[in-house]
Structure 1
Amino acid sequence: MGLFWRLIAPGFTGRHTALSSTAFKKADTMQFNRLGRSGLNVSRLCLGTMNMGSKDWKPWIFDESESEPIIGHALNSGVNFIDLADFYSAGAGEEVVCNVLRRLAKRDELIITTKLGYPIGGGANNGGHSRKHVFDAIDGSLTRMKSDYVDVYMLHYFDTRTPVEETMEALNDIVRLGKARYVGVSTMYTWQFAKILSVCDRNGWAKPINMQLQLNCAYREEEREMIPFCADQGVGVSVFSPLARGLLTNDLNSVRNKTDFFTAEMYSDPASLEIATSVARVAASRGLTPSQVAQAWILQKSEVASMLVGADTQDQFNSAVSALTITLDEEEIFEIERNYTPCAPINDETAGKRTPRFARPPMGRFAPADIAVAG
């Protein structure tokens, strides 16, 4: 019996009996996919937890009492996939979310990921993907999670300063030690991911089963190479930021949009704003919310195994659940996609270097009569 179970009392589900082992069976609308060619089955929606932890980190973060209703609702909706990172709230996110999960769910019914790479403390080696930091980081995460293993242990980015061989051997050792069941990666160039897979193949090391990448109506660069490459290599794709850090909700007055400087850096160009307008236009024509349309656009892609949902309310999570059953037609998809123009990939190496983009004109039923173009 692992540490996760030793540190909690029997009958830990307590008053939350609705979230017992039968909870996931009650959510008839939830869909499940295998994560790549692995045997791991994950819910089509994954609970993103960047907004949970400590307000000392960001003003829009939810503390434990505020996070619990959202986590509980996600579980009752059929979610078994939970995404964490040691960077979120400088470690407090892992602690807060797992405190709630121990009260609400059974560990063996959950697929929990966490990520390493960004520094959350002091010292010259407290960051990156060196062997030292990989081992220090996994022990820190498991201590905060009060668990003896994580299901998928992920690199938060590609560390250009550490040899790939050093990093992947360390992750392989962590899998062999039983501290992680699988490994995964996030946010890098396709050639960098190819390098990781190649070194794993040559040495017989545990290969990543999950590529977590940013994809939404306003950022589609990963469709060019990374997503097809993952499909070819049998790597599952999970998608974060389906609402472009809140831009596609068309609520520019939210606390997140007013205080998250990444939103302004990534999505303040004219094309992004036009995309948000088109999403709202399609939503209005269908009697849906912009969030539902943006999420349905993601979920309509068969290459996406799971979409992360970072909800601030139960209603926001319900939006993603409803998007599972929404199908966009050809004209709606064109209206959303016509604004898109190529841009620099969003990763650590391109931060602060994005070029403003401009959109194409509308067509079909979404075009005003005086500027309509042939379909």
Structure 2
Amino acid sequence: MCSRWAARVTLSVEAILLSQGSKWKFNLLNFHYQSMSFLEKSFKWDQAPFQLYTRLGNSGLKISRVILGCMSFGKKSWSDYVVEDEEQVFEIMKKAYDSGIRTFDTAGNYSNGYSEILVGKFLKKYNIDRRTIVIFTKCYFPVSEDPGADPSNGSEEGVDFINRVGLSRKAIFDAVDKSVERLGTYIDLLQIHRYDRTTPAEETMEALHDVVKSGKALYIGASSMRAYQFIRLQNIAERHGWTKFVSMQSYYSLLYRDEEDELIAYCHETGVGLIPWSPLAAGVLARPAVKAHDTTVRSSNSSFLSYLGLAELTENDIEVINRVEALAAKHKVSMATVATAWILAKGQYPILGINKPERLGDALAAISLKLSEEEVHYLEEAYGVRKLPALYH
């Protein structure tokens, strides 16, 4: 479109100048191509180190192809699997940053805000140029001043959180202010963590639009909701001329693909970036089937596996895991690398929870591993439709 416009303007300008006897020609088209070639020559997206990055959907924001999940960083009083030692956290963050993984995903409720605080501390500790990093966070869940508290447990103290949960205008504005305070900087992508059935959708979308206009967040995204809910919110924003979501962060892995026909198809069709969480299915895809439920502190928690619909593995699940193991042996990489490479082959950019610096190698290897169409089909064909995970009920 730009090329055609530039060509028409060039011809018009040249015709006017030549009709007046001028020998000078203003070649706007050449200027346009020179501008485009600058971007193309400066950023060769298929070559190192730029192959580590991609656009987030149809937006202009560039993100890492794999994203560092910061839910694993915080306080053990919040959850046993969390890495609490700050030096270890900063080592992982710095190694990720230096390796080119410069998109970090956190949320206000992770360790009740302490995950965000750690991201902010990391920026200051290493004097990170804010322009070189992309920060995602989320709002919806209540956040306590105590990192180990559960403000959603229904106790009497829960009354204090009555306007600090959900997606009302007040809840969103307060949550954003607190996140900015904890991070010590603005938010690149503000995501709504869940769908709020108790607040008018128009109120939510206008509030998010106003947050973007305030400069406290630059883009908005959504997470973990059904297709019709996400589409409804997008349509409301479009109808009113408000800011629309540029991303969807949903649960997606080789063991849960039921969103492909609706939510994921809609996102691909409309240019919404897909940044799935738990691409390794809480570690189940990172170990042979015989060890799948004996992987990490988090995945050994039966309630969390039930939450993901993985408390009991089906025959289909076991076959998928076996095929991941087979391809890992073929390519001489880890199972985590294969499962992550499959996500990338689907045009999605996964959020990986990493609790040891050495595991960053698996993430980076996934970017280099290009699965063939036959290998993608081999991994997918054993899939069996699952019962809807508890998080969507």
| TM-score of the two chains, using structure 2 as the length reference | 0.78
Distance 1:30 1:260, change over 3 A: farther
Q: Partners of 1:260 and 1:66 in 2: how far apart?
A: 27
More helix by share: 2
1:218-257 matches, cutoff 5 A:
218-250=255-287, 252-257=294-299
Give 1:288 shift.
Answer: 2.1
Q: Partners of 1:347 and 1:167 in 2: how far apart?
A: 24
Q: Partners of 1:207 and 1:131 in 2: how far apart?
A: 16
1:357-372 matches, cutoff 5 A:
none
| Deviation per residue, 1:275-315 (Å, 9 max, x gap) | 2232112222332211111111111123x2x2212111122
Q: Partners of 2:307 and 2:218 in 1: how far apart?
A: 36
* Residue pair 2:248, 2:274 contacting (<8 A) in 1 also: yes
* Residue pair 2:298, 2:304 contacting (<8 A) in 1 also: no
Q: Partners of 1:207 and 1:323 in 2: how far apart?
A: 31
* Residue pair 1:182, 1:209 contacting (<8 A) in 2 also: yes
Distance 1:107 1:126, change over 3 A: same
Q: Partners of 2:275 and 2:321 in 1: how far apart?
A: 22
2:202 pairs with 1:160? no
1:78-89 matches, cutoff 5 A:
78-89=100-111
Give 1:331 shift.
Answer: 4.7
| Deviation per residue, 1:241-298 (Å, 9 max, x gap) | 1111111111524322223631244223313333223211222233221111111111
2:329 pairs with 1:329? no
Q: Partners of 2:285 and 2:252 in 1: how far apart?
A: 12
2:211 pairs with 1:190? no
Counterpart in 2 of 1:120?
A: 143
Counterpart in 2 of 1:13?
A: none
Q: Partners of 2:180 and 2:138 in 1: how far apart?
A: 12
Counterpart in 2 of 1:311?
A: 354
Alignment partner of 1:258 out of 268, 278, 300: 300
1:38-57 matches, cutoff 5 A:
38-57=59-78
* Residue pair 1:87, 1:119 contacting (<8 A) in 2 also: yes
Give the aligned residue type for 2:114: A
Give 1:109 shift.
Answer: 1.3
Q: Partners of 1:292 and 1:94 in 2: how far apart?
A: 27
Where 1:214 maps in the other structure, the secondary structure is coil
Counterpart in 1 of 2:328?
A: 283
Q: Partners of 1:256 and 1:349 in 2: how far apart?
A: 20
Aligned residues: 322
Q: Please give the root-mean-square deviation of Cα atoms over the aligned residues, in Å.
A: 1.9
Where 2:368 maps in the other structure, the secondary structure is coil
Moved over 4 A (4+): none
Give 1:102 shift.
Answer: 2.3
1:295-306 matches, cutoff 5 A:
295-302=340-347, 304=348, 306=349
Q: Partners of 2:368 and 2:188 in 1: how far apart?
A: 28
Q: Structure 1 stretch 325-334 or stretch 105-114: which is displaced more? A: 325-334
Distance 1:68 1:27, change over 3 A: farther
2:138 pairs with 1:111? no
* Residue pair 2:341, 2:370 contacting (<8 A) in 1 also: yes
Q: Determine which structure has more spread, i.e. the larger CA radius of gyration.
A: 2
2:173 pairs with 1:135? yes
2:18 pairs with 1:35? no
Counterpart in 1 of 2:338?
A: 293
* Residue pair 1:67, 1:97 contacting (<8 A) in 2 also: no
Q: Which runs of 5+ in 2 are unaligned?
A: 1-46, 145-157
* Residue pair 1:30, 1:77 contacting (<8 A) in 2 also: no
* Residue pair 1:247, 1:263 contacting (<8 A) in 2 also: no
* Residue pair 1:52, 1:97 contacting (<8 A) in 2 also: no
Give 1:173 shift.
Answer: 1.0
Distance 1:106 1:291, change over 3 A: same
* Residue pair 1:35, 1:41 contacting (<8 A) in 2 also: yes
Distance 1:307 1:349, change over 3 A: closer
2:93 pairs with 1:76? no
2:136 pairs with 1:93? no
Where 2:298 maps in the other structure, the secondary structure is helix
| Deviation per residue, 1:109-128 (Å, 9 max, x gap) | 11111101112234222211
Give the aligned residue type for 2:241: G
Give 1:29 shift.
Answer: 6.9
Distance 1:216 1:170, change over 3 A: same
Give 1:77 shift.
Answer: 0.9
Distance 1:347 1:80, change over 3 A: farther
Alignment partner of 1:145 out of 183, 190, 201: 183
Percent identity over the alignment is 35
Where 2:242 maps in the other structure, the secondary structure is coil
Give 1:327 shift.
Answer: 2.3
Give 1:92 shift.
Answer: 0.8
Where 2:275 maps in the other structure, the secondary structure is strand
| Deviation per residue, 1:94-141 (Å, 9 max, x gap) | 111221122232111111111011122342222111111111111111
| TM-score of the two chains, using structure 1 as the length reference | 0.81
Distance 1:330 1:182, change over 3 A: closer
